[in-house]
């Protein structure tokens, strides 16, 4: 029996490796060079790719002459030439929902850290400025309004967490599940912009594409309520980072939680990196023990399901494009 060859651009949780290793019809190869040149050399004869953050542009994927599936260890696919694969009829799979709860918890952590200025309070204690404790006033979550832009896998988990803190929750999405919103007791809108002046917190959870690039720019930031806290755990390009830095400098935005950047890692001198009113993470919102294990297992299983002809539609990132082309 001819084996299917799977290339892993990076190692994943052992649980994912175990799923592939259990099959005697699968050969797994770990890439030792994820540069464009290294991957181009490794891809001929590969039937499936498991990818975390390695870049897979069209020029690289063109070398994968036997490719049947690309499986992303996560949900964002901006590192993959999706249109190229769609044109070839190749599904791009995602670990749908594997890390959603982890990112929702990460968002809550950033919100509370900024609302209570825990970074500043920690510095005050370490620097012996105990007398400054009276200068710190927490921004309450209770009775505050949060606008969640993107009511998908993460937004749907974040909403009830915010409700548990007594927050008024507004969710915005161009494809709303109004029944779920009603069940969760949250207000649902299709256009987020009219809600900006009323929100104490704005949290972003949308994919990055040409319709969402700089979704939050100078105009949207100016429309926000003075003292707002902005959280971006989506993709860096969703926010105009210089405009956000300017809004922080002016004091219009009280604080910003940023897990993602338009260029990763951010360049030296990035306006948000050393800003005193930011809480930052290195694109790590999905990196909990449970989330990494679940994502690895889904990444591996999606590859096998495509080989076996039983891949679930909800796991296919480019499903609409594949259906239009068929």
CATH label of the domain that carries residue 216: 3.40.50.720
Q: What is the mean pLDDT of residues 104-112?
A: 98
pLDDT given for residue 326 in this prediction? 74
**Helix ranges restricted to H, 77-134:** 82-87, 100-115, 118-126
Active-site residue 190, yes or no?
no
pLDDT tens readout for residues 187-212: 999 999 999 999 999 999 998 888 99
In this structure, the answer to whether residues 43 and 165 fall within a common structural domain is no
pLDDT tens readout for residues 45-98: 999 999 999 999 999 999 999 999 999 999 889 899 999 999 999 999 999 889
Share of the chain above pLDDT 90, in %: 94
Instruction: Say if residue 109's pLDDT is above 90.
Output: yes
pLDDT given for residue 1 in this prediction? 65
In this structure, the answer to whether residues 253 and 200 fall within a common structural domain is yes
Going by C-alpha positions, the residue among 203, 200, 257, 248 that lies closest to residue 224 is 200
Active-site residue 264, yes or no?
yes
Question: Whole-angstrom Cα distance, residue 222 to residue 255?
Answer: 14
In this structure, the answer to whether residues 45 and 57 fall within a common structural domain is yes
Going by C-alpha positions, the residue among 104, 63, 37 that lies closest to residue 49 is 63
Q: What is the mean pLDDT of residues 237-258?
A: 98
Six-digit token string for 70: 């690309």
- Characterise 84 by phi-psi region: left (phi > 0), alpha (psi -120 to 50), beta (else): alpha
In this structure, the answer to whether residues 274 and 316 fall within a common structural domain is no
pLDDT given for residue 239 in this prediction? 98
Across the chain, mean pLDDT equals: 96
Residue with tokens 């052992």: 14
In this structure, the answer to whether residues 295 and 203 fall within a common structural domain is no
Range of the domain at 242: 100-280
pLDDT given for residue 203 in this prediction? 98
Share of the chain above pLDDT 70, in %: 100
**Strand 228-232 relative to strand 201-204, pairing:** parallel
Q: What is the mean pLDDT of residues 36-53?
A: 97
pLDDT given for residue 2 in this prediction? 85
In this structure, the answer to whether residues 43 and 175 fall within a common structural domain is no
In this structure, the answer to whether residues 177 and 293 fall within a common structural domain is no
Q: What is the mean pLDDT of residues 173-180?
A: 96
Query: Residues 13, 101, 153, 283: which is the catalytic one?
Result: 283
Asked whether the beta carbons of 233 and 207 are under 8 A apart, the reply is no
Question: Whole-angstrom Cα distance, residue 84 to residue 88?
Answer: 7
In this structure, the answer to whether residues 78 and 220 fall within a common structural domain is no
Helix, strand, or coil here: 141? coil
Query: Residues 17, 235, 270, 277: which is the catalytic one?
Result: 235
Active-site residue 283, yes or no?
yes
Six-digit token string for 125: 């204690």
Q: Is the pTM higher than 0.85?
A: yes
In this structure, the answer to whether residues 230 and 117 fall within a common structural domain is yes
pLDDT given for residue 76 in this prediction? 85
Instruction: Say if residue 325's pLDDT is above 90.
Output: no
Q: What is the mean pLDDT of residues 176-188?
A: 97
Question: Whole-angstrom Cα distance, residue 118 to residue 96?
Answer: 33
In this structure, the answer to whether residues 91 and 227 fall within a common structural domain is no
Residue with tokens 């917190």: 201
Number of structural domains, the chain?
Answer: 2
In this structure, the answer to whether residues 111 and 28 fall within a common structural domain is no
Given pLDDT bands bounded at 50, 70 and 90, which one contains residue 168?
very high
Contacts of 255 (CB under 8 A, 6+ apart): 114, 115, 117, 229, 230, 248, 277, 278, 279
Contacts of 115 (CB under 8 A, 6+ apart): 138, 139, 140, 141, 229, 255
pLDDT given for residue 97 in this prediction? 86
- Characterise 106 by phi-psi region: left (phi > 0), alpha (psi -120 to 50), beta (else): alpha
In this structure, the answer to whether residues 150 and 160 fall within a common structural domain is yes
Query: Residues 10, 58, 190, 264: which is the catalytic one?
Result: 264
Q: What is the mean pLDDT of residues 120-127?
A: 95
């Amino acid at each position: 029996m001819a084996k299917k060859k799977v290339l892993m651009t990076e190692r994943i949780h052992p649980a994912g490796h175990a799923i592939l290793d259990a099959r005697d019809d699968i050969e797994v190869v770990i890439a030792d060079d994820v540069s464009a040149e290294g991957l181009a050399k490794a891809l001929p004869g590969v039937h499936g790719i498991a990818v975390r953050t390695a870049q897979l542009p069209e020029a690289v994927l063109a070398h994968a002459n036997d490719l049947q599936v690309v499986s992303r260890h996560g949900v964002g696919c901006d590192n993959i030439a999706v249109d190229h694969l769609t044109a070839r009829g190749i599904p791009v799979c995602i670990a749908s929902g594997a890390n959603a709860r982890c990112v929702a918890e990460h968002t809550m952590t950033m919100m509370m850290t900024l609302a209570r200025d825990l970074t500043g309070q920690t510095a005050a204690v370490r620097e012996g400025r105990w007398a400054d404790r009276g200068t710190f006033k927490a921004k309450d979550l209770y009775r505050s309004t949060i606008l969640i832009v993107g009511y998908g896998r993460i937004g749907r988990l974040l909403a009830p967490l915010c409700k548990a803190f007594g927050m008024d929750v507004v969710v915005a999405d161009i494809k709303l599940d109004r029944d779920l919103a009603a069940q969760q007791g949250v207000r649902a809108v299709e256009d987020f912009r009219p809600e900006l002046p009323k929100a104490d917190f704005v949290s972003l959870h949308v994919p990055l594409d040409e319709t969402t690039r700089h979704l939050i720019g100078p105009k949207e930031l100016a429309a926000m309520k003075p003292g707002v806290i902005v959280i971006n755990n989506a993709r860096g390009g969703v926010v105009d980072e210089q405009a956000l830095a300017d809004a922080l400098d002016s004091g219009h935005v009280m604080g910003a939680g940023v897990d993602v950047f338009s260029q990763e890692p951010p360049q030296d001198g990035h306006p948000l990196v050393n800003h005193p009113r930011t809480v930052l993470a290195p694109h790590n919102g999905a990196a909990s023990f449970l989330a990494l294990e679940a994502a690895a297992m889904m990444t591996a299983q999606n590859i096998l399901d495509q080989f076996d002809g039983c891949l679930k539609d909800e796991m296919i990132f480019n499903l609409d494009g594949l259906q239009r082309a068929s």
